[in-house]
Homo-oligomer: A and B are copies of this chain.
Amino acid sequence: MQNYDNNSCSLEKAQQIIFHTLRQLPGEVVVLHEARQRIVVCGVNAVTPRPAFDESTRDGYVIPHPAGASTDGTVHRYAIVDEIPAGRPSLKILASGTACRIMTGGCVPKGAVRVVPFEECVEQNGSVVIANHALLALETFIKKTGSEIARGELLVPAGEVLQADHLALLASCGMHSVAVAARPVVGYVCTGSELTAPAEELGIGQKVSSNSFLLSGLLASVGARPVNMGLIKDSEQELLDLFARVGADQPDVLLTTGGMGPGKYDLVEKTFVAAGGRVLFNALAVRPGQSVLFGLLGRTLLFGLPGPPHAVRTLLHELVGPALLAIQGKKDPWPKMIAAHVLHRVQMKPHRVLRLKDAVLVLQDGRCSVRFAERLEVPNCLILLEAGRSTYREGELVQVHLPHELSYSYFWQCGQK
């Protein structure tokens, strides 16, 4: 049995080691239509102001200062000289005593001071007649250049995950493309002589490599480029061949599952070291997930995960996903911690290490609660049960780690900004 107290790493320590080992990927420029869910490498500022021109916010008549208009003391009369629909500029300067019809979104000509909505005007014989009071209204129905966003304003800070809303914002401020982190190339492999690919027929004693779905799902959700390196038997030679391929191809990250226990056929660490890999930690003071290997082979980060799916899921959530986000420069890549009320009393054997329990967050009536996930239920968070504790009262606040997929990154604000 492993001794947690001597050699195993705390979760925080493991995260620190990973963070200090990984290197952030370089940026690449992509067109906006391909930038959703990518992470910006440096702050993005507005190239053009918004709006880019003085813009009418109503269908109406755009007029100059009333001084030059003919008037009988109660109404003013302007000669209509043009019509300005959205998208077609009037290049004219609006001369004294003249007006243009203008549509919402239309470009306000030089010399104009306000737009008077159609419903407040009467058009007669090529002129528009406007009552005095309409010329005194506070609202001019002109949105001035840059009044929404100034040229040069910071639109998206570095390390942000680009959402559709950001892309619309960037496009509206003159950008066609954006610099984002390159997508990490991640090789993954499931080890175990009992494993077969899903489409093959199962022999007695064989199993489908279901972990490959957890790995490929995570990789898709963090924007990695997955490279399925297949299934590997519990064979020193096959593992050495794998590490030789990895040494040659140098993916950013390699993920393995299985072969991490103390058993005769648990060969991942041994062959990794034999292939020249450097072990940075090989045990975690966390259940599930205590058998995990983190190391470097050339420039490739290795995460050697155990075989049981719930341990794989926990480690993907706590270590691998965040590392892949950090490689892309995401700010705050680690799981977000919140406190939530546990919905049921927890009674268990006290444990010597931190335990992470698959759980479901429940929002109701202004309260944020959490409960253990049921059998076959997909969890959406993890409850942290402290080492040494054996009971939690119903309703007590417990610590919870929220998942950190890219899609969720805009979803939470935890604590004060």
Contact = CB atoms under 8 A, between A and B. Distances in A.
Nearest to A400: B363
Nearest to A406: B407
A216 interface: yes
Contacts of A376: 149, 155, 169
Interface residues of A, number: 99
Nearest to A33: B216
Interface string A122-163: 000000000000000000000000000100000100000001
Interface in A330-365: 338-341, 360-365
Contacts of A165: 213-214, 217, 313, 378-379
Contacts of A203: 89
A103 B172 contact: no
Contacts of A366: 339-341, 367-369, 397
A94 B208 CA distance: 26
Number of copies: 2
Contacts of A261: 59, 104
Given A59-B263, A85-B193, A378-B410, 11 more contacts: A33-B198, A59-B261, A87-B192, A88-B193, A105-B194, A168-B214, A364-B416, A367-B367, A403-B411, A407-B408, A411-B411
B192 A105 contact: yes
Given A202-B52, A378-B166, A87 B368 contact: no
A95 interface: no
Given A89-B205, A205-B89, A210 B338 contact: no
Contacts of A403: 411
A412 B168 CA distance: 27
Contacts of A172: 207-208, 210, 309
A413 interface: yes
A2 interface: no
A322 interface: no
A195 interface: yes
A220 B37 CA distance: 11
